Chain A
Amino acid sequence: MATLTAPCPHDASDEQLLACFAAGQRQALDELFRRYRQPAYRVAYRLLGHEADALDAVQEGFLKALTHLHGFQGRSSFKTWLLRVVSNAALDLGRQRGRRDAVSLDAPHPKDLPDVHLLTIDEAGRRLERDELRQLLDKALDCLSEVQRQTFVLFADGELSYREIAEVMQTSIGTVMSRLFYARRKLRHFLNERGLL
Chain B
Amino acid sequence: MSADRDNLEAWLREHPAAHDDLADLLRLRELYQSVSPPMPEEAAWNAVHARLHKALGQIPRPRPWWAIAAGVAAAAILVALLIPSWWTTSVMVPTGEMPVPSGLRTSQLGETSVSPVGKRGQRVVEPFPVAEPGDVTIISMDARDVAALVVGEPPVGGDLEFARPEDVRLIRCERCPFSGRQARPEPGEEVLMFVAAAAVAPSNE
A residues bordering B, Cβ < 8 Å?
4, 22-24, 26, 29-30, 33, 37-38, 41-42, 45-46, 51, 54-55, 58-59, 62-63, 66-67, 117-118, 120-121, 124-125, 130, 133-134, 137-138, 155-157, 159, 163, 180-181, 184, 187-188
Q: How far is the CB of A111 from chain B (nearest CB, A)?
A: 15
Chain A positions within 8 Å of B56 at CB level: 26, 29, 63, 66-67
Chain B positions within 8 Å of A45 at CB level: 37
Q: A55-B40, A59-B51, A134-B36 are in contact. List 15 more A-B contacts (CB 8 A).
A: A26-B53, A42-B37, A46-B37, A51-B44, A54-B37, A59-B55, A62-B52, A66-B56, A67-B59, A117-B24, A121-B30, A137-B32, A155-B25, A156-B33, A184-B25
Q: CA A41 – CA B48 in complex, angstroms?
A: 11
Q: CA A33 – CA B39 in complex, angstroms?
A: 15
Check A41/B37 contact, CB under 8 A, given A22-B62, A55-B44, A180-B25. yes
Taking CB as reference atom, which chain B residue is nearest A67? Answer: B59
Q: Is the interface of B mostly helix, strand, loop or mixed?
A: helix
State whether A58 touches B29 (Cβ < 8 A). Answer: no
Q: CA A34 – CA B73 in complex, angstroms?
A: 42
State whether A188 touches B24 (Cβ < 8 A). Answer: yes
Question: Is B21 located at the chain interface by the 8 A CB criterion?
Answer: yes
State whether A156 touches B29 (Cβ < 8 A). Answer: yes
Chain A positions within 8 Å of B51 at CB level: 59
Chain B positions within 8 Å of A22 at CB level: 62
Q: CA A151 – CA B34 in complex, angstroms?
A: 18
State whether A24 touches B61 (Cβ < 8 A). Answer: yes
Q: How far is the CB of A138 from chain B (nearest CB, A)?
A: 8
Q: CA A118 – CA B30 in complex, angstroms?
A: 11
Question: Is B31 located at the chain interface by the 8 A CB criterion?
Answer: yes
State whether A121 touches B34 (Cβ < 8 A). Answer: yes
